[in-house]
Structure 1
Amino acid sequence: MEIAVIGGGNGAYAAAVDLTENGHHVRLWRRDKDAFQAVLDNQTIHVKDHNGSRTVSIKLASTDLKEVVNGAELIVIPLPAVTQQSLAKQLAPVLEDGQVIFLPPGTFGSYLMSKVLVDEGCKAKVAFAETGTLPYLARKYDELTVSISGRATRLPTGVFPSERSEQAFEVLRKAFPSIEPIQDALDGALMNAGPIIHPPLILMNAGPIEHFDKWDIHNEGTQTSIRNVHKALDNERIKIREALGYTKPHFPLDDHYNIEGEEWMYGNGAHEKLVDGEDWFEPLELKTHRYMREDVACGLAFLVSVGEWLDVPVPTAKGLLAIASAVVGEDLRVTGRTMENLQLASKTKAELKEILEKGLLQYEIS
């Protein structure tokens, strides 16, 4: 299958390599030409995983977005949510009917990007899909090398608009056999693990993060008190899902940590594999890191706003969002990705469900 991968981060490099090795024709686009130059020159990426180290030649690495997107059945965008609005503007003139755009995870970016496409006058009939996590546990060593320490075994995925689900899942399964269909894109957005796992880890570890040169939030930073906050926050997510009519499995975060629990997105024992190696040590500048700007400012703010829209109490989420706002000096409930800023706060549940099913073209969204 012809696949376009958009981005230059951990997930994009991992997807380009993995999909190529699974027999697909992969074209990789990145906007930062200077950082991308080594891949452009070699048309290869180095990869390290349980099979060892090797160099993989991809079909095309390019900074020409049209060249990469044209003719692709599937467009994989494993980029932080903060990039989605600007990227949608760039994609608007080059998208084609029938393409499937995959956001792993999406943070309800399927709706946001669709709205931008409509605002930009894009007429292409595309489907978006978003899931609860990246298909890979991956880290780049440098601009030519990626390490993949795990692959998702279950990817709960919803489609926007959901009436195009059948065609979208037919395409998605060719690339990601572990995909599990769920109701719609909001169902997928509320599977996103990032806004549950990362806000407690960075905020409750803020002292050691800013003090020590090296601090692994996933290892020594994951203690009982933090796990308890994870559980409380995740229970609020699940109550929101239930209020919207979404049913089990809810993929509770506890299953990621408990080997005896139901298989989570990366399979049993994934947490132990994650903390065994050195891949997950990384610098954390709290005001700018993606855990703050994506998982808090987009994901957690969205969760709080949906809870308030539904009149579902979310005290843990609200408290963490308030603390994060103090850390960054910005009211993230006002500036973040929220029902209000997505122009959805005035909708009823029935109206939102119809939008999720039918899409945006027939609605006034200005």
Structure 2
Amino acid sequence: MKSLEIAVLGGGNGSYAAAVDLTEKGHEVRLWRRDAEAFQEVLAKQQIILKDHNGSRVVSLSLASTDIKEVIQGAKLIVIPLPAFAQQALAKQLAPVLEDGQVLFLPPGTFGSFLMAKVLGEEGCKAKVSFAETGTLPYLARKYDEQSVSISGRATRLPTGVFPSNQSDDALEILKIAFPAIEPIQDALDGALMNAGSIIHPPLILMNAGPIEHFDRWDIHNEGTQPSIRNVHKVLDEERVRVREALGYLAPHFPLDDHYNVEGEEWMYGNGAHDKLVDGKDWFEPLNLNKHRYMREDIACGLAFLVSLGEWLGVPVPTAAGLLQIASAVIGEDLRTTGRTLENLNLASKTKEELKEILNKGLHHYEVS
């Protein structure tokens, strides 16, 4: 197997999982994290403890560092499993250290490929890089603490689009070495509209808001996933698919029903993934409705983006819009105004044809600032 130099950025579940999994696959992996205090044990030992179906073991990294230039330098692939709300600030840090030919992978992206490319341009970055984004993390993972991670599942299908899409062949060739489950799709917006979190999590946290705030423990993926909530999931996902179709994106759309069904079309984590998820002990986590990434990423970024796209296209998305309005009321912030929208990305004035041209050729062909 061909080996890559890979930089993994971040200190969350997905970043730790990527660092250890890609290391065990034979790649040279360097891990960067901004928070030196939380990263202290990993920095000292240059190791992370991994637990999965094969047991528990120590994985030694090529490098763990808080120096972003040291981690980025020479890496062919840069894996960024950070929340969408961190992408803008990270792009500013990356601007002076990126190199020609690097591929930045956002799993998932929430159209962060466009946002980060825009910020890099504003920061004067001259490196010729490409972005790719997919619909979910490559791993079902949870950190026990700041020096260990548990991986309970790995993605079997990763629909992935590249920005700009005219660089797809080269970018996907690199990506498939690290993530063989990648399936090429049209472009980065195609990838953004595969984002499962923006469909799964808004109904789960908003329709379970009372139990979340009342009980000391409430698992939204287990007792919180009841038939009434699944009905909302289904309608919300149908709105996502209608938006995709209005943009000319073709099946497979990876409908959320396939995540819950034991049989039928294989979803991103394989058949029966939901049952495996709730059977494990890793998936419960406490929720602060104001701060949690399900609100700040999946609703403020993902759901707001879907609503703005639907309105721009003239495609009704009443369930998405209603959930976004309820979320805004819950946290006291108008997320349709402040969230990740076509308006805030300076794309609302573009035609569909102009947007497709930007997706294909990149930002330097159009003024979007």
Considering the TM-score relative to the shorter chain, is it more than 0.5? yes
1:61-98 residue CA offsets vs partner (Å, 9 max, x unmatched): 00000000010000000000000000000000000000
Corresponding letter in the other structure for 2:258: D
Q: Which residue does the alignment assign to 2:260?
A: 257
Structure 1: distance between partners of 2:307 and 2:366: 25
1:213 aligned to which of 202, 216, 231 = 216
Q: Which residue does the alignment assign to 1:76?
A: 79
Q: Which residue does the alignment assign to 1:29?
A: 32
Correspondences of 1:88-167 after superposition (within 5 Å): 88-167=91-170
Q: Which residue does the alignment assign to 1:17?
A: 20
Structure 2: distance between partners of 1:260 and 1:287: 36
Shift of 1:362: 2.8
Unaligned runs of 5+ in 1: none
Structure 2: distance between partners of 1:361 and 1:117: 12
1:226 aligns with 2:229: yes
Structure 2: distance between partners of 1:181 and 1:123: 27
The two structures have a TM-score, normalised by structure 1, of 1.00
Contact 2:104 2:132 in 1 (8 A): yes
1:173 aligned to which of 162, 171, 176 = 176
1:248-295 residue CA offsets vs partner (Å, 9 max, x unmatched): 000000000001120000001111110012211111000100000000
1:318 aligned to which of 316, 321, 339 = 321
Corresponding letter in the other structure for 1:294: E
Structure 1: distance between partners of 2:181 and 2:334: 38
1:56 aligns with 2:31: no
Shift of 1:16: 0.2
Contact 2:347 2:368 in 1 (8 A): no
Q: Which residue does the alignment assign to 1:293?
A: 296
Shift of 1:333: 0.1
The secondary structure found in structure 1 opposite 2:38 is helix
1:178-224 residue CA offsets vs partner (Å, 9 max, x unmatched): 00000000000000000000000000000110011111100000000
Structure 1: distance between partners of 2:226 and 2:249: 30
The secondary structure found in structure 2 opposite 1:35 is coil
Q: Which residue does the alignment assign to 1:329?
A: 332
Q: Which residue does the alignment assign to 1:339?
A: 342
Structure 1: distance between partners of 2:328 and 2:264: 34
The secondary structure found in structure 2 opposite 1:294 is helix
Number of aligned residues: 366
Alignment root-mean-square deviation, CA: 0.5
The two structures have a TM-score, normalised by structure 2, of 0.99
Corresponding letter in the other structure for 1:262: E
1:309-344 residue CA offsets vs partner (Å, 9 max, x unmatched): 000000000000000000010000000000000000
Percentage identity across aligned positions?
81
Q: Which residue does the alignment assign to 2:185?
A: 182
Q: Which residue does the alignment assign to 1:42?
A: 45
Structure 1: distance between partners of 2:309 and 2:359: 15
1:243 aligns with 2:227: no
1:35-81 residue CA offsets vs partner (Å, 9 max, x unmatched): 00110000000010000000000000000000000100000000000
1:283 aligns with 2:279: no
Corresponding letter in the other structure for 2:141: A
Shift of 1:155: 0.1
Contact 2:234 2:257 in 1 (8 A): yes
Structure 1: distance between partners of 2:282 and 2:110: 25
